[in-house]
Amino acid sequence: MAENLDLLNVGVSLLIRAALLAARFSGRVRRRSLERLAAKDIDARAKEILFLKDRVYQLEMQVS
């Protein structure tokens, strides 16, 4: 019985770690793509709008 509980605890902790790593990775990928987009030749206002839209999207995902 105790072995099953230990296995369950380890399994849950591994799932939580995997979810955190996936979230970090997706954030890095999003940041890289935004930086590439910002490096393109578009006006500053359009860049700011894109960054703000991404921030709004991130906040909406946290709320839901």
Q: Which residue has the tokens 């996936």?
A: 22
- The whole-number average pLDDT for the span 57-61 is 86
How confident is the model over 3-57, as pLDDT tens digits? 788 888 888 999 988 888 887 787 788 888 778 777 777 777 777 788 888 888 8
Nearest to 36 by CA among 24, 47, 45: 47
pLDDT at 2: 67
Yes or no: say if 31 and 55 are a contact pair by the CB < 8 Å rule. Answer: no
pTM above 0.75, yes or no: no
Query: What Å distances lie between residue 59 and 51, 53, 54, CA to CA?
Result: 12, 10, 9
